[in-house]
Amino acid sequence: MSENTNAAMTEGATGATGATGGAKSSTYVLVHGAWHGGWCWDAVAQNLRSHGHRVFTPTLSGLGDRAHLISPEIDLQVFIEDVVHVLERHDLSEVILVGHSFGGVTLLGAVDRVPQRIRQLVFLDAVVLSAGETAFSRLPPEIVAARKQQATETSNGLTIPVPPASAFGVVEPEQVALLERHCTPHPLKTFDDPMVLKGPPGGTLPKVYIQCVDPVYGPLQSSRDFVKSQNDWAWDEIATGHDAMISAPDALAEKLLAFA
| pLDDT at residue number 9 | 31
Would you give the distance in Å from CA 115 to the centre of its chain? 17
| pLDDT at residue number 135 | 98
| pLDDT at residue number 1 | 52
State the pairing for strand pair 186-187/207-212.
unpaired
Domains of the chain, first to last:
2-257 (3.40.50.1820)
101: annotated active-site residue: yes
Spell out the per-residue pLDDT of the chain, length 260, in tens: 533 323 233 333 344 444 444 568 999 999 999 999 999 999 999 999 999 999 999 999 999 999 999 999 999 999 999 999 999 999 999 999 999 999 999 999 999 999 999 999 999 999 999 999 999 999 999 999 999 999 999 999 999 999 999 999 999 999 999 999 999 999 999 999 999 999 999 999 999 999 999 999 999 999 999 999 999 999 999 999 999 999 999 999 999 999 99
Selecting among 2, 25, 26, 101, the annotated active-site residue is 101
Query: What is the C-alpha separation between 103 and 52, in angstroms, rounded?
Result: 25
3-state helix, strand, coil in the chain (%, to 5): 40, 15, 45
Q: Say whether 2 sits in a helix, a strand or coil.
A: strand
| pLDDT at residue number 11 | 33
Q: Output the pTM of the full model.
A: 0.91
| pLDDT at residue number 24 | 85
| pLDDT at residue number 120 | 99
Query: What is the C-alpha separation between 60 and 249, in angstroms, rounded?
Result: 21
Q: Indicate the burial class of 206 (C-beta count within 10 angstroms; 0-12, 13-18, 19 or more).
A: middle
Residue 222 · residue 139 · CB < 8 Å: yes
Query: What are the phi and psi torsion angles at 192 (to 5°)?
Result: -105, -5
